[in-house]
Structure 1
Amino acid sequence: MKKEYRIKKNEEFQKILTHGHSFANRQLVLYFYEKKDQAHFRVGLSVGKKIGNAVKRNEVKRYLRHALIELEDEIKPNFDLIIIARKPTSDMGFFEIKKSLSHVLKRSNMFRQ
């Protein structure tokens, strides 16, 4: 995923968390905020210390980024997303994380029709 498609600034995170909507399952929480006139969706990832050590947290973030790359064509472009990983993600592989992410995106109606 290109760096310009990532959300890094704390102000942007806070705006999405306070003004956006959310959906969740046991593994992931998704916050989304609609932004008009945006050519591509942007994503911020949050993986807390409860998930595990730095190696495990980076692995979960890598899995999430790769899953987003694979689902990129199906996700609506005019949204900013924040994905927060919960504790069960530490025991999951890539395909389980991708399935969980697809589930949350489908529930939140983020897929194109």
Structure 2
Amino acid sequence: MRKSYRVKKEAEFQRVFTQGKSCANRQFVVYMIEKPNQPHFRVGISVGKKIGNAVQRNWVKRRIRQSLTELKPQLKQDCDFIVIARPSVTDMAMADIKKHLLHVLKLAHVLEEENN
């Protein structure tokens, strides 16, 4: 994912945490804040030390980033959101990570509404 799609600065993370809404399932927590007039969404990924060593944390981050890249057309463009991984993610396959991430993004209303 390109740098323009990432929430990088500590102040931006804190703004999403303090002013945003949160939703969670057993694998992920998502904080989301609306940002009108923003050309595209931005995402921050947080994986704590309870997950494991650096190799495991980077493995989880890569899987989350890949899932978000695949879901990119479905994501709202006018928001910032933070994805926090919980320890149960380390034992999951890529398909399960994507499924659970999709579930929590729907709960957080980060996905565009389908017009059916």
Q: Give matches, 1:8-23, under 5 Å.
A: 8-23=8-23
> How far does residue 112 in structure 1 lie from its aligned partner after superposition?
1.2
Q: Alignment length, in residue pairs? A: 113
Q: What is the TM-score with the length of structure 2 in the denominator?
A: 0.95
1:26-48 C-alpha deviation (Å, 9 max, x unpaired): 00000000001111100000000
2:99 is the counterpart of 1:104 = no
AA in 2 matched with 1:6:
R
Mapping for residues 51-70 of structure 1, pairs under 5 Å: 51-70=51-70
Aligned ranges 1:85-104 → 2 under 5 Å: 85-104=85-104
SS of 2:65 mapped into structure 1 = helix
Give the RMSD, CA atoms, in angstroms: 0.7
- Mapped to 2, the partners of 1:6 and 1:51 lie a distance apart of 21
CA distance in 1, matches of 2:48, 2:39: 30
The amino acid across from 1:2 in the alignment is R
Unaligned regions of 5+ residues in structure 1, if any? Answer: none
1:67 is displaced (CA, Å) by 0.2
Identity %: 54
Counterpart of 1:93, as a letter, is: A
Partner secondary structure for residue 40 of structure 2: coil
Q: Deviations over 1:45-69 (max 9, x none)?
A: 0000100111100000000000000
Distance in 1, Cα, partners of 2:30 & 2:100: 11
Quote the offset at 1:92 in angstroms: 1.0
TM-score for the superposition, normalised by structure 1 = 0.97
Unaligned runs of 5+ in 2: none
